[in-house]
Amino acid sequence: METILITGGAGFIGSNFISYLFNETDFQGNVVNVDKLTYAGNLENLSHIVNDYPDRYRFEHVDICDRKQLDRIVEQYKIDIVCHFAAESHVDRSIVSPDAFIQTNIIGTYQLLECVKAHKEHVRLFHHVSTDEVYGSLHDQGYFTEETPYKPNSPYSASKASSDHLVRAYRKTYGLPITISNCSNNYGPYQFPEKLIPLMILNAIEGKSLPVYGDGQHIRDWLYVTDHCRAIWMILKARPIGKTYNIGGRCEKKNIDVVMAICNLIDHLMPMSEYKRKELINWVTDRPGHDRRYAIDCSRIEAELGWKPQESFESGIEKTIHWYLDHMEWVNRVRSGEYMAWIRQHYGH
């Protein structure tokens, strides 16, 4: 049975992927989850996996920059596949404090690659999960393809672009068995409330201000997280060594339209007599280097692996809103700092 090392498995996409792997696929192997447990990592996301699969799931509280620990883990668990999610990912924070992004996204990826290189007789695949932000900004027309030149515009996207280049270089130079995927904006359960969709959902529920950057006309391609997880699993199964795949939701939306859709749905679910949620919208100064439009051409993965997004934005956003409404205790623990206090108590972080 294969053993998959998943980095960043306590984060938003990583924890969704582990849940998907165990509960919605025919995977019969083992998973080792390596996570540093920064503020956005939450082991509570995987409590059901710990309970249901105690013999097949292991957690290691390790920083991916720690090469000695990575070597130990790969040797101890006889890792067959590395699926690399771990990353600092919030653009706004990268503008204010880019150092953590350089360390985790670049140095951490380098250390993982060096580890795989040292154990390449055993590790059969290194899959690197990246972002469409490495391509920069699109105008009104056109789409990002796998051949689009890189033109990152924020410290976050520049750090991810650098990690992509390292992964490709290790394939060409050292023959490592790599694959790469670049995805559009994910949303869904367990997303930390700093990102646009959970922030707007929670603020709308609570009657707080809904801050929208600039003129609200920035366009993103939205991808429901389970669709993303399914695409990654198909890549891991097919193992098209050396290939890059763009993963998008074929779902372009202006930021203001996303916010309005959330307002309307929450008004329907939780009507307020004194106001409509759209009245909470607050226009704020645009952030520096804010890319105008992202849009992914995902025809390669559709043609070669048979993947297509299953969720429309309408179905996905409704599921997401219901999830947050049903998990407000999780939200309150994440936002109150209670979870971080628990992490410090148990892991000294």
Residues 6+ apart with CB under 8 A from 261: 253, 313, 314, 317
How far does Cα 136 stand from its chain's mean position? 18
- Dihedral of the alpha carbons of 101, 107, 109, 115, in degrees to the nearest 10: -160
Polymer length in residues for the chain: 349
Catalytic residue among 110, 143, 156, 324: 156
Is 190 considered catalytic here?
Answer: no
Round to whole Å and give the CA distance between 309 and 249. 6
133: annotated active-site residue: yes
Active site residue 132: yes
Q: Which residue has the tokens 């771990």?
A: 86
**Catalytic residue (one of 88, 133, 221, 252):** 133
Residue of 132, 221, 291, 297 with catalytic role? 132
Q: Dump strand ranges (E) for the chain.
A: 3-7, 30-35, 57-61, 81-84, 125-131, 178-183, 185-187, 210-213, 219-224, 244-247, 252-254, 281-284
Half-sphere CA count of 325, side-chain side, radius 13 A: 13
Contact yes or no for 195/262 (Cβ under 8 A): no
Active-site positions?
132-133, 156
